[in-house]
Amino acid sequence: MYQFILGKISTLSADPLASTLADMAPQGARNASWLAGRTLLARALSPTPLPEIVFGEQGKPSFIDAHPFWFNLSHSGDDIALLVSDEGEVGCDIEVIRPRENWQALANTVFSVAEHHELESEEPEAKLSAFWRIWTRKEAIVKQRGGSAWQIVSIDSTAQTHSVSQLRFGSLSLAVCTPTPFNLTAESISHYGMHLV
C-alpha cells in the first residue's frame, strides 16, 4: 500500500490538530513546515495515534519500535507532500517548478551523463522543467536510502535499479522512490486542505 498526499503548509499549520503539537515544534523558520508535516502524518494515520518519530544517522525520520509504516515528507514553497507505505522505505520529493539562479551550473555539477542527455534533448523552453523533473527523481532516491543531500551527485536517476515514478502536477514536479513499483498519477494523489483549480 502506498498513499501520496499533497497539502498546503499554511492550511495544515493552522489546523486545530497542529495546536496540540505546537509544544514539540521547533521555533523559527522551520515551525510551520514541521507542524504541517506532523499534522499531515497524523491525519493520514488517523484514527491510529501518531507514533513517536526518531531520526536516523543522516536525519531521516521514521517511526520508533518498527511501526508497520514507513514515510517521507517533502516541501517546497507552501506545498507539502507525504508518502506513506507499508512495503518498506520510501522517498519523495516535491519542487515548485520555478526559475533558479545558476540551475544549469548545478546540473553540470550533479547530473550524470545520462541525465545530461535527457536535459539536452529538451526544447529550450522545456529545459527548466526538465531540470526540476530530474532533480526531484534524484532527491526521492537519496531520501529513500536515508542519505544526505551531498550524495545526490552519486545518483543516476535514469538507472533501472530504482523504482521511481514522477509526475508534473500543475506547477509542481513530484517524484517517489519505492521498494516495489508504484505509479504516481493524478488519480493516486490525495489532497488535504487544498483548493484545486
Output the tens digit of pLDDT for each of the chain's 197 residues: 999 999 999 999 999 988 888 888 888 888 999 999 999 999 998 888 888 888 888 888 888 876 689 999 999 999 999 999 999 999 999 999 999 889 999 999 999 999 999 999 999 999 999 999 999 999 999 999 988 777 899 999 998 888 999 999 999 999 999 999 999 999 999 998 654 43
d(CA 131, CA 149): 17
What does the alpha-carbon distance between residue 95 and residue 174 come to, in Å, rounded to a whole number? 7
H-type alpha helices, 74-112: 103-110
Give residue 27's identity as a one-letter amino acid code: Q
Residue 172 is predicted with a pLDDT of 97
- Cα 116 from chain centroid (whole Å): 22
Q: Which cell goes with 113?
A: 551523463
Q: Please, are residues 35 and 17 in contact by the beta-carbon 8 Å criterion? A: no
Separation between Cα atoms, residue 175 and residue 168, nearest integer Å:
9
At 66 the pLDDT is 60
